[in-house]
Amino acid sequence: MVDRIADIWGTRTPFAQGDRWPVRVDQVLAKGLSEQDVDRWVQSACVLCSNGCGIDIAVKDGAMVGVRGRAMDIVNHGRLGPKGLFASWQGVSNKDRLTQPLIRENGELVETDWDTAMDRIVSRSKALLEEKGPLSHGFYTSGQLFLEEYYALGIIGKAGLGTPHMDGNTRLCTATAAAAMKESFGSDGQPGSYTDIDECDAIFLYGHNMAETQTVLWARVLDRIGGPNKPMVVCVDPRSTEVARHADVHLPVRPGTNLALMHGLIREVIRNGWIDEEYIAAHTLRFEDLADKIEPWTPEAVAAECGVDAAAVVEAARIFGTSQRVLSTVLQGFYQSAQATASSCQVNNLHLLRGMIGKPGCGILQMNGQPTAQNTREAGADGDLPGFRNWENPQHIKQLAELWDVDELVIPHWAPPTHAAQIFRYAEQGSIKFLWISATNPAVSMPQLPRIREILAKPELFLVVQDLYLTETTQYADVVLPAAAWGEKTGTFTNVNRTVHLSEQAVEPPGQARSDLRIFLDYSRRMDFRTKSGRPLLDWEGPEDGFNAWRECSKGRLCDYTGLSYERLRGGSGIPWPVNEEHPDGTDRLYGDGVFPTHADAAEDYGHDLATGATVGDQAYKAMAPNGRAIFKTALYQGAHETPDGEYPFRYTTGRTAYHFHTRTKTGRSPQLHDAAPAMWVEMAESDAEALGLGEGDVVRVESRRGHLFAPVRTANIRTGTVFAPFHYGYWDAADPAEADPQQRPRAANELTLTEWDPVSKQPVYKTAAVRVTKVADATGPAPAPTTTASRPARAGRVLATVGGAAGEVSETIAPTEPPAAPRDEVRS
Amino acid sequence: MKLPIYLGLLHRSEHTLAESFRQVADGHGDEPDVYFLCRSLADQCEKHEQALLPIVERYGEVEKDDEPERLHADGLSKTRSGAVGLLRDLQDLYLLGSLVDITWTAVKQAAQGLRDAELLEVVTRCEGETKTQLEWLSTRMKQAAPQALIVAE
């Protein structure tokens, strides 16, 4: 047994370059239960990060009582991380679950039945359609529902109502991944694979604290580091994360300066001639566009702007330029920072320069934050058109109109879809009057919370919230719908490296809770949405009908699911798309042939100017004639818009801890995870803390131009001048009433963040703001921050180590079977 | 030679556009993308003005010419408010930007006729940025128009 709170990544199983990652099956059961007590194991995949680990749910007496990793799954080879182990089931089987719909009566939410709740939604919806039309409706969903649910929602919005105002909280976590791939390669679709970890000579992690955000993926990296021929590791992160501690080169950039660093790396690689001119000539366009952007960024200029060593920049570029096989991974440190798309495209560009794409060990992982974010993007629930179709391509609109048997004019394709911050802006201005929020908690997760609360509280906004629990957002709702959770419904979802999993229903939902799919289908039926020929628009009986409909929609597109079925996904490993006649066993990597979906007929997007977000448009795009070649894109460096000054002297940045997911609706209800990171803290460098007379655990007020919060300080290994705040903590589990009121005792990280977004991906900027810090009280103990992660104290020995004790124990079975193999790449010319 | 007339027109219209971008930024601070981008684009227009200075030094600049001003493009006197107000303000910027754009075109023709490499280099650098400014304004207006014209109050 291993304490997996104390040892987040579990026992090492080192392996050599090119070998398969050994299996280790992690299993945990409720206290007092042994394997013999389990009635049955039900196949699923984990939904507590974007990694997508295959998981089996233990069921006893109709309840979830534990989990184990699936040994044969190509994603995790049996492993699970602390969130999956402790929160996937305990975060769902909980006495706090919503079991009945609620409606607002005389200002209070009261219990009601489904008919009454749905009637209220439908009558408001119909009245608004009559009075104002579809643009009065907005939908804000999640990265945590299932594919079939997103596709249903997408059809409702695009073919039923006809509103462009649809987005997911994926806008906050992964929009830049999609945007960067569209700009560089013509379409969303992950080029790389997790198997690139097994093969690479070097791994670059750009703003990606993989050790905490995808703990099982990091275990795979650790096992490479622990084995023969270990890869070089380069880490770009202002904090001394676990990744940084294992890095050969750590570049602790000032938040907001990523693009300057990327320009500097590209400049070095080109100047040293570490580029593949043949590949560039044959497979790319616009190489010459890079020159004026990168020219000023000598290693010394990068050092001055980013606050890193010039020699480290040179060394990082050398590693990239001289290694044969490099894997790059990118996440929120780039996606949620200034000039997100331009910086992330520069990662793609490094690989294009060296022709290192689509070959073993030569991968790009533009990561996702959430387990099903890929499906939000694919199925159209984030506003993009389903199947990576292009809103500027009339042929793509026609395909959808035929598929759904609706008038092309109904499908909103006159402009890009409305992104989350703009949806909230329209609600603020009163032109969106009906907002349906599913499986997300914007009252904690959106930037600038004082403003978000005002919008949600507007009396003229009809707010529907669909969730497992009462949250900070449900308190503003007119109708609250109790949703069935993971394990209580069947469906599929797709992880970062395109691997599709089936998740089967293991238990019944509590009380009257219903699956999100059933709720959406019910709304469609009650609204009487119909096709041109008069049939119901959504006539699915259940999730498998939805999956089959989606297969049809995906046919011939890059994300082709036609070779998959529920039956095919039962029993074995998840399978990476495309899966079709050409690739019957799935596809490990894309673009091995150097042919990209940039042809005007295929492209998901005609691209943007990365500095302003101006669309390129179909004419200019066709004139460029990319025809299968990738496109070098970036922008001039500008830096962050809000930087420190005399009044607000610190750079404020937000992020994650290994023990929590999002706003803790699930992880906060797992005793092991809650105890490991029970309450809000902020991190500062020791020298900064000393200058303000602060010691470990002293309570500070952190204030930006938009709001303030109170939290104890952890003196941590973070670059000076920077304040870090975890974004997980809100108000639902506050110990006393004053702490539950953001007016009285604010503590959420997003009280301080600013409303601003990347001009292309429209992803909000959470990583840069200017703040000031003042002490408000002496410490009553150390800050409640884990010691096992990036929040570990700067000086050891003064804070008790984070442990799980008996409750944190997990059984690990090393190498019970041979490791599974990913689908083999087709060898093409 | 009448080129100094066009250099004057270009100089003045870039200046007007810069001021107007700044005005729209300040007037629509609740639209963060408009706020930040209009400020950046105002800076960009001012850089164009700077880039013209050495050219103006060589050819001179004429404030008034024989042709009477028929169309007055004095910039925005004041920004509007609300969704339609934003649309109108962006539209005014688009008109001012179009004036700048076509003036660059005329100056570029003259630069080619004059075989003036220095002027050509300045034009090439700036006219692309002006086009992108127009493309951004058009992109943003396309996004804003349906909501402003159909449902905004």
pLDDT of residue A582: 94
Nearest-by-CA chain A residue for B140? A614
Q: Can you give the pLDDT at residue B67?
A: 66
How much is the CA Rg of chain A, to the nearest whole Å? 25
Unique residue bearing structure tokens 């200029």:
A301
Phi then psi for A792, rounded to 5 degrees? -60, 145
pLDDT tens per residue across span A735-762: 888 888 999 999 999 999 999 999 999 9
Closest partner CB to B32 (pick from A133, A430, A755): A755
Contacts of B142 in chain A (CB under 8 A): 414-415
For chain B, which residues lie within 8 Å of any Cβ of chain A, measuring from their own Cβ?
30-33, 36-37, 40-41, 82-83, 132-133, 135-136, 138-139, 142-143, 145-147, 150-153
**Mean pLDDT of the region A378-395:** 94
Separation of alpha carbons A556 and A554, rounded Å: 6
B65: pLDDT strictly greater than 90: no
How far is residue A608's CA from residue A759's CA, in Å, rounded to a whole number?
Answer: 9
Q: Find the DSSP H helices in A555-650.
A: 566-569, 618-624
pLDDT, average across residues B66-77: 74
For residue A828, what pLDDT is reported? 42
Among A135, A615, A759, the residue with its CB nearest the CB of B151 is A135
Cβ separation B143–A425 shorter than 8 A: no
- How do the domains of chain A map onto residue ranges? 2-95+810-814, 102-173+372-559, 175-367+597-631, 650-798
Please state the rounded mean pLDDT for residues A57-78: 98
| Tens-place pLDDT, residues A525-543 | 999 999 999 999 999 999 9
* Distance of alpha carbon A313 from alpha carbon A310, whole angstroms: 5
pLDDT of residue A689: 98
For residue B122, what are its two tokens? 């300045």
Res A829 pLDDT > 60:
no
Sheet holding A40-45, edge to edge: A2-3, A809-814, A24-29, A63-69, A54-60, A40-45
Tell me the C-alpha distance between A2 and A27, whole Å: 10
CATH superfamily membership of A2-95+810-814: ADC-like domains (2.20.25.90)
A to B CB pairs, distance under 8 Å: 72
Residue A669: is its pLDDT beyond 90?
yes
Give me the amino acid identity at A134.
P
Q: Which of B135, B145, B151 sits opposite A614 (nearest CB)?
A: B135
Q: How confident is the model at residue A203 (pLDDT cuts 50, 70, 90)?
A: very high
- Touching check for A131 and chain B: CB below 8 Å? no
Determine the 3-state secondary structure of A19 from DSSP: coil
CB contact under 8 A, A425 and B31: yes
3-state helix, strand, coil in chain A (%, to 5): 30, 20, 50
Greater pLDDT, B68 or B137: B137
Q: Is the pLDDT score of A514 beyond 50?
A: yes
pLDDT in tens, A101-135: 999 999 999 999 999 999 999 999 999 999 999 99
pLDDT at B153: 81
Q: Do domains A2-95+810-814 and A175-367+597-631 have the same CATH topology?
A: no
ipTM: 0.95
CATH superfamily of B3-63+80-151: Ferritin, core subunit, four-helix bundle (1.20.1260.10)
Fold that domain A650-798 belongs to in CATH: Barwin-like endoglucanases (2.40.40)
Domain edges within chain B: 3-63+80-151
Q: Give the pLDDT mean for A790-794.
A: 97
Q: A175-367+597-631 has which fold?
A: Dimethylsulfoxide Reductase; domain 2 (3.40.228)
Residue A712: asked if its preceding bond is cis (omega within 30°), the reply is no
pLDDT confidence band for B70 (50 / 70 / 90): low
The Cα A392–Cα A379 span in angstroms is: 17
Query: pLDDT at position A766, please?
Result: 97
pLDDT digits (tens, 9 = 90+) for A804-825: 999 999 999 999 999 999 998 6
Distance CA A694, CA A186 (A): 50
Average pLDDT (B8-29) is: 96
Rounded mean pLDDT of chain A?
97
CATH number belonging to domain A102-173+372-559: 3.40.50.740
pLDDT in tens, A412-442: 998 889 999 999 999 999 999 999 999 999 9
pLDDT tens digits, one per residue of A571-615: 999 999 999 999 999 999 999 999 999 999 999 999 999 999 999
Q: What is the pLDDT of residue B42?
A: 98
